[in-house]
């Protein structure tokens, strides 16, 4: 992107950007919504963060990779735990978040609401 001295910095932040589902681009291509990262006073890289809905898909895919199988194949307790983690990460603040999560877990929206209510009642 820029000079050779910046490569260790870019290498260091890339896993974080990838985990968030972001995209790295040259700082001079940054838009108003992008985050420009500077190193030693020089703008090195811009990070374009995903939209929340894309982020949710990314989070679900990462959970699936960690489990090593589709989320729909998890047992009830594991699905409840997944819903708890997703709620903590703001998944249900996203438009159609409940539907998206229900679909990934292979359960109904009603079941997701039940899992959420069980957490609040505990």
Res 122 pLDDT > 90? no
Q: Which residue has the tokens 């996203």?
A: 94
Q: Where are the domains of the chain?
A: 5-48, 52-120
Sheet bearing 23-25, strands edge to edge? 23-25, 42-48, 35-39
Note the pLDDT tens digit of each residue in 28-63: 999 988 999 998 899 999 999 877 667 788 889 889
pLDDT tens profile 85-103:
999 888 888 888 999 999 9
Distance (Å, whole) CA 28 – CA 45: 9
Residue entry with tokens 């957490």: 119
Pairing of strands 42-48, 23-25: antiparallel
């Amino acid at each position: 992107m820029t000079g050779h001295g910046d490569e260790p910095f870019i290498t260091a932040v890339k896993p974080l950007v990838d985990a968030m589902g972001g995209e790295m681009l040259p700082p001079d291509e940054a838009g108003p919504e992008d985050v420009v990262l500077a190193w030693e006073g020089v703008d090195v890289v811009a990070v374009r963060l995903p939209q929340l809905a894309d982020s949710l898909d990314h989070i679900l895919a990462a959970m699936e990779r960690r489990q090593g199988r589709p989320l729909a194949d998890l047992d009830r307790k594991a699905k409840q735990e997944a819903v708890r983690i997703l709620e903590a990460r703001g998944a249900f603040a996203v438009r159609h978040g409940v539907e998206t999560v229900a679909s990934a877990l292979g359960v109904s929206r009603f079941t997701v609401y039940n899992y959420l209510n069980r957490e609040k009642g505990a």
